[in-house]
Structure 1
Amino acid sequence: MFSFAWWCASVVGVVFVFAGVQKILAGPDWLVQARKLGAPIWVIPSVRWVELVLGCLLVADVATTAVRLAALALLAAFTALLVKRLREGVRPPCSCFGSRSAKPISWWNVTRNIGLMSLICLALLVNL
């Protein structure tokens, strides 16, 4: 069970669980932060729960391919939003980890997400 693919996916899973919990703990403040970041209003209420569930499933190694692809898609969407805002010259707080993310977004956030996506890709490729 504790294969290289599992470790790669679990690192991302732990990050997702941490991010989801921090957003839940931030309560309504996180909803406001996410809106300022430019996330679509219809997506915002579910993001923290999706992160929490996906994170748990990644660590539990359940439905591995589907869950890993979903995590990759979610990270790609987050990254696309960050790149869009950075290119527009808009730098609101990331809010990636709830109230722990008060710094303005930067290319560091994009780099971190690319690293997480790389781990998911490794987890997917190892299982081919």
Structure 2
Amino acid sequence: MADKKIAESVGYELPADSAVLQDLGFQGFEVADVETLMPHKKPRGRELTPFEKAVNRIISRSRVYVEHAISSIKRCRAVRDSLRLIRAEMSDMVMEIACGLHNLRLRLYPWQKVPMPGEPW
């Protein structure tokens, strides 16, 4: 199932005046009273403006933490591979356990912010 369809079926309730970082998998997904931040896509036949490139850089710097978290959760092979379980609750339980292990790993070994090129240590 596509990311957008899953998000629409869940029916997220987010605080008003908050922001959501999304990628192209969620194109067209919107929540009322929530700002949507999505990277600019390069149009055919022209380059992105310096402003659009700067916005994309800011968004990607924030999204990298999300991508690393997803990668860390997918270290559990049961999450990465397709499960052949009869009950849907079991699939949810496997994901909850993987997320719990990820959170435990972060408590034991917190992430260090690595400065981007040009940023001071």
Alignment TM-score, normalising by the size of structure 2: 0.31
Larger Rg: 2
Higher helix share: 1
Name the structure, 1 or 2, with higher relative contact order (CA <8 Å, separation 6+).
1
Higher strand share: 2
Alignment TM-score, normalising by the size of structure 1: 0.30
